[in-house]
Structure 1
């Protein structure tokens, strides 16, 4: 967005300079006529030697145009910084509320369960103790998962613009398959890829990793109860962009019900409350894609899986 804003300012500033230059050129032409001289460089030099005020008149549009460009650029950067700060502040306000809600709940559960375990230890059966310990472990796991999601969001908001470069989709997915090996093996997930028609994208490597990791983990987490998860990822050259098709056969999303909130921060759309999550993943996916000058859209039906269509630049 910043590059686009700068290019617009540059275009209009250069236009202003060129427009301003037309006045001294016109004045040179008139001066040549009044002094009975041909309109050429030799005549212009003669006129400047006769009257040095022409130097001021001729250079003023360039100086003023350059000064205007620098002022406009500084103003644009200030506006971009203020806008980013407003976005971060809004996210932090929401984050503060969610911390008090999502982190406080598991902490209170742990506190209550440990109190029961400590005060009633002598009268509890071994089976009851095991149940309490299991519930404590579940609350701790929930707390840690929520904490990691929040830390991921904070790192994302703090990172700002990251260096973009040519990235291999196949290498990124291959690395993620190794990182997510346990989840993939435990769920029986099958991941198929075909990047032959669009192997590279020009993006932030860190963001690309995060985008695909969130989509893969979501596909595994929200898999259909009656079938093993299948994930297909392919890419195509699409009019100067790379179109990435990410599809799964999971539980799907009711877009009629949730479509307008699909990529909203802290929104969840699964019908299974036992599946843990904070609703940060898809928000990060969309935000990271857009920060890399791309776009994302979703197609989904409950019980039939989800298809994400992503466009990312192929060059800078």
Structure 2
């Protein structure tokens, strides 16, 4: 019982990170109907920005503690949002009126560019950091096994929930959110009604990249390592979470992230860790066989 409870806590904290990244996938798909395959590498860039900022602040003795983590988070969000804006301007906007395969190819090319840029500028070796948030709260004890909710896991869950609350408010209560929902329903009609669709799409990429930066900073603090290829694996899992929850559904992205995190964690705990990714993708395949639109997805209506 205690072991299962510990794995549940671990799975929820990991799933929260996947859910944040999956929101970026589903936002872009909801507005322009395309999958941003460079989003995983935007996450990777956010991790390296956070790593550089952390080394400069903490190792240099400039700042330490919670204030340093908040500043690192803000710096990572700002710079990663700029990368997200650049991806939209370079890889998507020039090809928006082209055939549907062209932006997909362009996004894959941008993913390769970002990977090689980080590899050349930061090196190919993994970059470890010292743990910045240590300790936790003991929840229960069963023999010698202790169930612990670490402060890092509390930070992940709290930060993720706060980010999702702010994002939900932004989408549902602000003019930008109304413009985003209008573009999702009918981009051409929204443009005719005076909505700046180019600006709305750019801000969507910016917000998605900022959420990826939050996930990247939390991932770096939790696992203590970053490398130039990390965006591919994590990005594929977050994309799987978005599809599992229902691509285009924001609650579905978060639900899918939690499910992927729980599946991966419990499989690693009770079965062979080498096959945890196979388990997650198998669940995805079974879900799509019986629910082709995902758990919370909806059927697309063809506009004529």
Greater C-alpha Rg: 1
TM over 0.5: no
The alignment's TM-score, normalised by the length of structure 2, stands at: 0.22
Higher helix share: 2
The alignment's TM-score, normalised by the length of structure 1, stands at: 0.21
Higher relative contact order (CA 8 A, sep 6+): 2
Higher strand share: 1
